[in-house]
């Protein structure tokens, strides 16, 4: 009886795993094969290096979309990454317990807000604010999208970075303080280097969120696809925003295939990011990696302490 249950359980788990793997494979295969069909309509060169995406002229150059995505993500990360790391240091090392609890609730709340709400806030607060502060025509553009995305990426980044910092062994802190390091030195020279893989994972996953965000971005970026953006405050677009805006109205097979190819490109970029996470964490999944990184860091503790001492002398 027990043995039969075990077999049943095993086969259920095996099936579940296989379904997941197969459906992921099918997804990649399907989007890839449908998307690649675009190259029977237009040449790869005009797709990858075309500087305009305009269904009126049947130009489907991906550069305006790709550039928009990269620029938006980059601006977001420049603001968001240091902010998230600072917030998580504050939560782990500085904030007293009640404040920490309030902050964690706030972070969770941020994480559970639907992206349409972020988009609406962006449309009614960020866009008018940028318009008046910078005296630009409309205020929609890459900068507006990045400001919205900073708020959207915070929960992901803060919670992972906080986990990474919290899982560092107490002995690291004690060791550093024992040799006379100030709190700042302890954080800067011991904790941050030791938590590096976890922090990197936080940044990469935040980046994934930024690059894939669709609705909120689409509402504030202006959706101009026909040119490569040359500044941060006039209309632009990103890959997912272009897909969501244009797919419902895509009547020609060329246009449809080109949009699905963009989806495939987005999928590839996301897969690269995931590979990046694995690389950053040494081949283990996020949480296990942050935990595993600790012994290594502990190994380097002597060196860290030595460095601190050297610093003090």
For other proteins, which is the closer residue by CB, 260 or 297? 260
Kindly state the number of chain residues that form the binding site for other proteins, as judged by CB under 8 A: 54
- For residue 194, which of 94, 47, 97, 307 has the smallest C-alpha distance? 307
34 binds other proteins (CB under 8 A): yes
The contact mask relative to other proteins for 121-140 (x = CB under 8 A, - = no) is --x---xx--x-----xxxx
Structure token pair of residue 244: 């969501």
For other proteins, which is the closer residue by CB, 103 or 263? 263
Burial of 300 (0-12, 13-18, 19+ CB in 10 A): middle
- 144 in Cβ contact with 130 (< 8 Å): yes
- 262 in Cβ contact with 65 (< 8 Å): yes
28 binds other proteins (CB under 8 A): no
User: Which 40-59 residues touch other proteins, going by CB under 8 A?
Assistant: 54-57
Burial of 299 (0-12, 13-18, 19+ CB in 10 A): exposed
- 85 in Cβ contact with 161 (< 8 Å): yes
User: Which 224-243 residues touch other proteins, going by CB under 8 A?
Assistant: 224-227, 234-235, 243
The Cα 307–Cα 305 span in angstroms is 5
C-beta of 135: minimal distance to other proteins in Å? Answer: 10
152 binds other proteins (CB under 8 A): no
Which residues of this chain interact with other proteins, rule CB under 8 A?
Answer: 7, 10-12, 14-15, 18-19, 22, 27, 30-31, 34, 54-57, 114-116, 119, 123, 127-128, 131, 137-140, 214-215, 218-219, 222-227, 234-235, 243-253, 260, 263
């Amino acid at each position: 009886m027990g043995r039969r249950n075990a077999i049943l359980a095993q086969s259920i788990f095996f099936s579940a795993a296989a379904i997941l793997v197969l459906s992921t494979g099918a997804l990649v295969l399907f989007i890839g094969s449908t998307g690649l069909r675009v190259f029977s309509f237009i040449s790869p060169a005009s797709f990858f290096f075309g500087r305009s995406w305009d269904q009126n002229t049947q130009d489907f150059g991906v550069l305006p979309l790709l550039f928009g995505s990269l620029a938006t993500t980059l601006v977001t990360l420049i603001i968001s990454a240091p902010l998230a790391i600072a917030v998580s240091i504050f939560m782990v090392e500085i904030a007293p317990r009640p404040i920490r609890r309030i902050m964690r609730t706030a972070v969770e709340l941020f994480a559970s807000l639907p992206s349409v709400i972020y988009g609406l806030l962006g449309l009614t607060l960020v866009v008018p604010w940028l318009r008046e502060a910078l005296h630009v025509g409309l205020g929609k553009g890459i900068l507006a999208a990045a400001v919205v995305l900073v708020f959207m990426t915070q929960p992901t980044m803060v919670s992972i970075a906080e986990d990474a910092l919290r899982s560092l062994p107490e002995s690291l802190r004690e060791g550093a303080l024992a040799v006379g390091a100030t709190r700042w030195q302890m954080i800067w020279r011991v904790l941050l280097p030791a938590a590096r893989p976890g922090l990197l994972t936080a940044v990469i996953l935040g980046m994934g969120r930024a690059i894939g965000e669709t609705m909120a971005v689409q509402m504030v970026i202006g959706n101009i696809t026909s040119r490569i953006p040359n500044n941060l405050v006039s209309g632009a677009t990103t890959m997912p925003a272009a897909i969501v805006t244009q797919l419902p109205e895509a009547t020609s097979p060329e246009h449809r295939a080109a949009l699905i190819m963009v989806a495939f490109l987005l999928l590839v970029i996301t897969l690269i990011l995931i590979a990046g996470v694995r690389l950053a964490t040494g081949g283990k999944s996020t949480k296990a990696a942050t935990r595993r990184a600790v012994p290594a860091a502990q190994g380097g503790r002597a060196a860290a302490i030595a460095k601190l001492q050297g610093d003090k002398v």
